[in-house]
Amino acid sequence: MSSWWSLISIVGVILLSPLAQANNPLALSNSNKASTTENALNQLNILELNADWWKPFADPKIRDVASEKLISQLNQAWLASPAERQDGIEESIQSIKRLLNTLKQLQEQPTAATIEIAPPSQETFSWQDWLEALRKNQAAQTSVSESSAELTHKEAGQKLLSRQVDDLTAHYLSETKPSLQSSLSLIEKRLMWLISQESLRLEKSQLAATKQRAESIERHFKHLQSNLTTTDNDIKILQREADQLNKLIEQNSDKLRNLEAILPTIIGDDSLTHAKQLQAKYAVLEAQQNLLYAQSKLSWNKLSETYVQRKQQASDNWSEEQRKLINEQSNLIDNFNKQANEIKPRFERYREQTQSAITITDSNPVSREVTQAKRIYQQLLDQSTELASKQQHINQQLADNDTLLILLKSQLRLADGQFKGSLNDLTNTAQDVWNTTLGWLNTSLFKMGETPVTTAGIIRVVLIILIVWWFSYWLRKALTRLASRNQKIADATIYTLNRVLHYLIMLIGIMVALSSIGLDFSNVAWIAGALSVGIGFGLQSIVNNFVSGLIIMFERSLKVGDFLELQSGVTGTVSQINMRSTIIRTPDNLEIVVPNSEFISGRVVNWTLTDNDRRLRIPFSVEYGTDKELVVRLVMQAARNVPYTLEDENHEPQVWMTRMGDNGLEFELLVWVRQGVDIEVRRAESRQGLKAAYLWEIESALRDAGIGMPFPQRDYYIRSILGQNSVEGFVQALNALKPPSTTAPQEKQG
């Protein structure tokens, strides 16, 4: 088994070795590099280049020989080319000579030497020594970062150039007879690639030296930091500087406010006014830079004072005041960096406007105003140089603040330990997220009049409305429970009171919620106008139904539990009276939503408005010749058999004969019933259901007594059918229409 693995390994090495050399053509082994390069030099032919023609130029030992041979062949090709093409070929030859010269200079340039900074001989260091070492360390780290970024950019360009050279080489080798111009293009591109390779080599050596120097400076800084000696005088100096900075900040703030107030007053459309407007913008920008620099410098002083105090403390315990200061300064420094990033594009925009304005004034006719404007623009160009320098100082100060803040945070984390440090980092991260969220929530989305509306305001409005709705819900529930214990209070009264309280509480809650975002209700003309337009264009029916609902609840013409019969034919019990509609439950247990306006504008039959007793009229008929007294007794007894019937001195059932009809005697049972008394009645709450119960008993009683129901009786008179005017003639005509019989009797077969 091991022999098989050995064989596979050998084959893999043989197959992968050419691929590795192709990916890194400069990384040839020392044993075959010289022979390969010499063979490529001997085979160098610009009219038929092979894949390895460039390797002699990568070897400094034979580079000059290869260059002379290449230039000689180029000159011969130039002489042999037609006259009309010699100019273009000569330009390519000159470009190749320059590339060869550049390649030679880069190859002969030595790699950057590493410089080791000697450690200081003294044992103690002052605060000023520490500040100087801090800035040197920061500059070294910045140099490493910039060099690394530059190297990464060049490596990306080198990869792109390598792909282009490989594509060009593949295309060249695929040609049967390459032209001279193709050879010249390939030579130029490959020489550029070699120059890029050498440039990367020098860049990497320079970066290595820069890193080594930065490491040496950092070691020196750590040594100085561990041997730093601070005094109370250092703290006093920092405090005096802080007092001066506070005064400077106050002065710059006042100056900035005055300049910002003056800027809108500069109005005009001439060239001089435009120049003065731009001059005022420069003044505002300069005041902002001065203020930002003073604020960042004050932040540096506070951090430095904290650092000096920590050096003088014997214990590693950090006070709450020091922890709070670090968190505050961290937020301030983030804000300062944000301001600096906002100032920079404005400064660039102002400078571009100044240069454009100078060009415009040069083209305008010469006048006194144009001359003054041009003088102002020239002054602003000079001032822009000073502003650029101030911006660099601000960026440097902010970088110093970041460095010192990181140093203090690392010391705090070391003093707290791993667990507490991680917990503090998590707390700070949560605080940053919270601050970012607050900033996002307080961003204006739109305006209502002059009041800006933010995301936080919308959330606050929604929360207030939800709390008010929750309060209204529980208040209504408490009132309902209280009414259920007191039988003297009607359910309809409690329902109306609950609805009115709900609307009133929600109205007050909405007004409070909108007031919480700064909406002024003292001037509601625009609200009334918006509502009037809305009502006119589509809210009229909604407002009509809402007002109708209020009228219904206050007028109490109908209430929850009433049995209604609408003009549209809908019958049922009122289950809910809402803001826009009323819900009616039919005897078939269907819930019908009826707009409130229908109860106000239409006719409504309320069976239970003031009294639950109702008289029903149930019509029926019997055939002629029936004993009328017997019918009355039977029907009265049938009515008493129905459990819905009321029978007292005020509610006596009666049977009336109302008409002698075409087919029989017509009667009508008048019986009193009570709506919604018991379960049996609630099962048949409609008038039709009650009638069905009485008709059932009436039909059963009459049928048991042998009394029949009348049927329609009709006499038909036939005047002229088939041309006959008498019955005898009609019968004879019918007999004549009968077909003769065609079936003969069949004999019986034995």
Mean pLDDT confidence for 351-369: 78
Residue 12 has pLDDT above 50, yes or no: no
| C-alpha dihedral, 322 to 328 to 331 to 334, nearest 10° | -70
pLDDT of residue 534: 62
Q: Which residues pair with 582 in a beta bridge?
A: 577, 594
pLDDT, one tens digit per residue, over 164-190 is 989 888 888 888 888 888 888 888 888
Question: Which is higher by pLDDT, 451 or 692?
Answer: 692
Give kind and range of the element (H or E) at residue 622: strand 613-623
Cα separation of 116 and 211, whole Å? 11
Residue 680 has pLDDT above 70, yes or no: no
Q: Enumerate residues 6+ apart whose C-beta is below 8 A from 415.
A: 316, 317, 318
pLDDT of residue 368: 79
Question: Which is higher by pLDDT, 26 or 728?
Answer: 728
Flag the least confident range among 242-246, 421-425, 543-547, 632-636.
Answer: 421-425
Give DSSP secondary structure letters for 496-549.
HHHHHHHHHHHHHHHHHHHHTTT--SS--HHHHHHHHHHIIIIIHHHHHHHHHH
Q: Is the Cβ–Cβ distance between 516 and 547 less than 8 Å?
A: no
Give kind and range of the element (H or E) at residue 557: none
Mean pLDDT confidence for 590-617: 76
Residue 684 has pLDDT above 50, yes or no: no
Residue 159 has pLDDT above 60, yes or no: yes
Count the neighbouring beta carbons within 10 Å of the beta carbon of residue 631. 22
3-state secondary structure string across 665-726: EEEEEEEEEECCCCHHHHHCCCHHHHHHHHHHHHHHHHHHCCCCCCCCCCCCCCCCECCECC
Confidence of residue 58 (pLDDT cuts 50, 70, 90): confident
Q: Is the Cβ–Cβ distance between 698 and 635 less than 8 Å?
A: yes
Confidence of residue 716 (pLDDT cuts 50, 70, 90): low
Give DSSP secondary structure letters for 370-396.
HHHHHHHHHHHHHHHHHHHHHHHHHHH
Most confident of 353-362, 421-430, 459-468: 459-468
pLDDT, one tens digit per residue, over 189-230 is 888 998 998 888 888 888 888 888 888 888 888 877 777 777
Give kind and range of the element (H or E) at residue 368: helix 368-441
Q: What token pair was written down for 520?
A: 């002024």
pLDDT of residue 713: 65
Of the CA atoms within 13 Å of residue 521, those in its CB half-sphere come to 10
pLDDT of residue 719: 55
pLDDT of residue 740: 59
Kindly list the domain boundaries of the chain, sorted by start residue.
35-224, 230-441, 611-728
Residue 448 has pLDDT above 80, yes or no: no
Q: CA nearest 593: which of 602, 603, 584?
A: 584
pLDDT of residue 34: 58
Mean pLDDT confidence for 65-72: 86
Cα separation of 656 and 659, whole Å? 9
Calculate the alpha carbon distances from 687 to 384, 670, 692, 694 in Å.
95, 13, 9, 11
B/e letters for 500-526, b = 16+ CB within 10 Å, e = fewer, are eebbebbeebeeebbeebebeeeeeee
Give kind and range of the element (H or E) at residue 152: helix 127-174
Question: Helix or strand or coil: residue 621?
Answer: strand
Flag the least confident range among 63-67, 169-173, 400-404, 479-483.
Answer: 479-483
pLDDT of residue 681: 42
Q: CA nearest 689: which of 541, 603, 586?
A: 586
Q: CA nearest 302: which of 282, 322, 283, 284?
A: 322
Percentage of residues of the chain with pLDDT beyond 90: 1
Q: Is the Cβ–Cβ distance between 616 and 694 less than 8 Å?
A: yes
Cα separation of 558 and 122, whole Å? 102
Residue 33 has pLDDT above 70, yes or no: no
pLDDT of residue 742: 47
Confidence of residue 520 (pLDDT cuts 50, 70, 90): low
Residue type, 286: E
Q: What token pair was written down for 221?
A: 């800084």
Query: What's 230-441's CATH class?
Result: mainly alpha
pLDDT of residue 16: 43
Query: What's 611-728's CATH class?
Result: alpha beta
Q: Is the Cβ–Cβ distance between 266 and 276 less than 8 Å?
A: yes
3-state secondary structure string across 392-449: HHHHHHHHHHHHHHHHHHHHHHHHHHHHHHHHHHHHHHHHHHHHHHHHHHCCEEEEEC
Residue 283 has pLDDT above 80, yes or no: yes
Cα separation of 144 and 594, whole Å? 79
Q: Is the Cβ–Cβ distance between 637 and 705 less than 8 Å?
A: no
Q: Enumerate residues 6+ apart whose C-beta is below 8 A from 108.
A: 60
pLDDT of residue 594: 83
pLDDT of residue 536: 59
Residue 40 has pLDDT above 70, yes or no: no
Mean pLDDT confidence for 575-592: 79
Residue 367 has pLDDT above 80, yes or no: no
Residue 338 has pLDDT above 50, yes or no: yes
Q: Enumerate residues 6+ apart whose C-beta is below 8 A from 512.
A: 464, 468
pLDDT, one tens digit per residue, over 85-141 is 878 888 888 888 898 899 888 888 887 666 666 666 666 777 777 778 887 887 888
Of the CA atoms within 13 Å of residue 155, those in its CB half-sphere come to 9
Give kind and range of the element (H or E) at residue 452: strand 451-454
DSSP 582: E
Summary mean pLDDT of the chain? 77
Calculate the alpha carbon distances from 537 to 176, 524, 526, 531 in Å.
82, 20, 16, 10
Q: What are phi and psi of 216, to 5 degrees?
A: -65, -45
Roughly how many angstroms between the first and final C-alpha of the chain, as a whole number? 110
Cα separation of 245 and 251, whole Å? 10
Q: What are phi and psi of 727, to 5 degrees?
A: -70, -40
pLDDT of residue 515: 76
Confidence of residue 683 (pLDDT cuts 50, 70, 90): very low
Confidence of residue 6 (pLDDT cuts 50, 70, 90): very low
Flag the least confident range among 16-20, 198-202, 527-531, 583-587.
Answer: 16-20
pLDDT of residue 554: 67
pLDDT, one tens digit per residue, over 318-335 is 778 888 888 888 888 888
Most confident of 251-265, 550-564, 721-735: 251-265
Calculate the alpha carbon distances from 251 to 281, 288, 371, 393 in Å.
18, 12, 34, 20
Strand 654-660 relative to strand 613-623: parallel, antiparallel, unpaired? unpaired
Q: CA nearest 332: which of 294, 360, 306?
A: 294
Note if the pTM is more than 0.75. no
Give DSSP secondary structure letters for 287-321.
HHHHHHHHHHHHHHHHHHHHHHHHHH-SS-PPPHH
Strand 664-674 relative to strand 604-606: parallel, antiparallel, unpaired? unpaired
